[in-house]
Structure 1
């Protein structure tokens, strides 16, 4: 297979595998650029667009939930309005802070050592939270109180440091604020939709002229989108089942090992 398309497929797999796991998709894509030796700036817009493939997987898997909420909104059901309110409220901090710190965040995207240390720190944090959190009072997204949703939204902003993980920050934040495991995971899936759509729109407005560089092209973008969509479909179902039974500790240990390995590899370059 042509090396270019192999890179496209590998990046699509990395995105689909890691977007909804608490291991940082952005961090893995940054480390992949270092490992594979390609020019990360050339592929930056490609990496942004293929995230939409993973987001589409959420829409497909949870279409019944979105349909029920939509019908509930039309019928003015309080639970549906609370569901929508909670998603929008949790999204707002990331939108405001992301816009304010956009240039600084872009600088961090070129720092693989930051990713490695963030992977380790995040893994340790997950292990600590898993030991601390015992009580889960909220078992539905619409049941999470307004103030706690605001807290989850601000905690999600920690993921602007590459390697922290948007889903990881959201899930751990929800757990510490009393949300049950499965609900915390699903809230992170749903919150990814406005968050990633907003981030993608911002990138397209700023750098849309770089969307199809001579190196990448539309064919590669479509292929990466499809691969990330298919992989994310498989990962989401598996992930929900795993955390319901075993919690998040396996991902914490993976983060720590991956971060240490990345630091060791970067120090030898």
Structure 2
């Protein structure tokens, strides 16, 4: 991977990580269209350390309050009813599904699931799911995040685990789950970002050991892409949280469906092979 490729892919990662459009799909599709090799799951996971650093900074007060309350609740039982203490437990519980499924199906995730036909299918299907969830939420009472329960936290977690399939989108899956459970757009997005922290950090650290080995990109370009992803990702978070306070997710749903349809068309015309750009 060249330095130029690293900058471009880091920018793609940062611009799409927090939007419900699937950053892994965009990295996969963009690389195929440009005639570049698939950057691979390891590159994606490590550059997500950059975007997740943006989450840590943007939500630093929320995170500090959660860690503080959760830590105190371990020795003071009366604190376990505190919303921030409960949120700490909910994030831990919601992380379990993706941890178990990610470890169990790691080889499949890094190989056959990166087929462009699968990417196109998940873009369209979950674009429709997002649109339906957003429309259902609009006609019901929108719950604040303080009403989150343990079973719902697990539901969020299973929705997050679907993002192991390129094209689903971590934020898209969890936000859709939140909307279907009746939470407001802002609440669904906020918990989606908080829930992603442990899984993304753990995945990124584990995949660090694969960088520079085999087909994975070298350390230099990967680190540059991670820095670019952090800067662009922070800007996107700030914009996205303001955007959804006044707008629906309809535009993102339409974009997903159109992108998936365009990808199927390119494959049908022979412009792209299903495994185009894939790592050998």
TM-score normalised over the length of structure 1: 0.90
RMSD: 2.1
In the alignment, what sits opposite 2:67? 70
In the alignment, what sits opposite 1:128? 132
Q: Pairwise mapping of residues 119-268 of structure 1 onto structure 2 (< 5 A)? A: 119-133=123-137, 134-140=139-145, 142-204=146-208, 208-211=209-212, 216-268=217-269
Contact 1:24-1:162 within 8 A present in 2 as well: yes
How far has the Cα of 1:106 moved from its partner? 1.9
SS in 1 for 2:24: helix
> Aligned in 2, Cα 1:157/1:70: closer, same or farther, shift over 3 Å?
closer
Contact 1:45-1:211 within 8 A present in 2 as well: no
Give the Cα separation in 2 of the matches to 1:104 and 1:188: 25
Contact 2:42-2:210 within 8 A present in 1 as well: no
C-alpha offsets along residues 110-165 of structure 1, whole Å, 9 cap, x if unaligned? Answer: 3012111211111111122222223245312x430111111121122222221011
Contact 1:115-1:162 within 8 A present in 2 as well: yes
In the alignment, what sits opposite 2:274? none
How far has the Cα of 1:256 moved from its partner? 1.0
Give the Cα separation in 1 of the matches to 2:101 and 2:214: 29
Structure 1 segments (4+ residues) deviating >6 Å: none
Contact 1:24-1:168 within 8 A present in 2 as well: yes
Contact 1:108-1:162 within 8 A present in 2 as well: no
Contact 2:49-2:226 within 8 A present in 1 as well: yes
Question: Residue 16 of structure 1: which of 7, 14, 17 is its match?
Answer: 14
Question: Residue 122 of structure 2: which of 103, 118, 121 is its match?
Answer: 118
Contact 2:114-2:166 within 8 A present in 1 as well: no
Give the Cα separation in 2 of the matches to 1:172 and 1:145: 17
In the alignment, what sits opposite 2:88? 84
Contact 1:120-1:255 within 8 A present in 2 as well: yes
Give the Cα separation in 2 of the matches to 1:209 and 1:125: 34
Question: Residue 57 of structure 2: which of 35, 57, 60 is its match?
Answer: 60
Give the Cα separation in 2 of the matches to 1:211 and 1:20: 27
C-alpha offsets along residues 195-228 of structure 1, whole Å, 9 cap, x if unaligned? Answer: 2123224434xxx244366984332122111100
Give the Cα separation in 2 of the matches to 1:137 and 1:58: 24
Contact 2:67-2:85 within 8 A present in 1 as well: no
Give the Cα separation in 2 of the matches to 1:139 and 1:27: 31
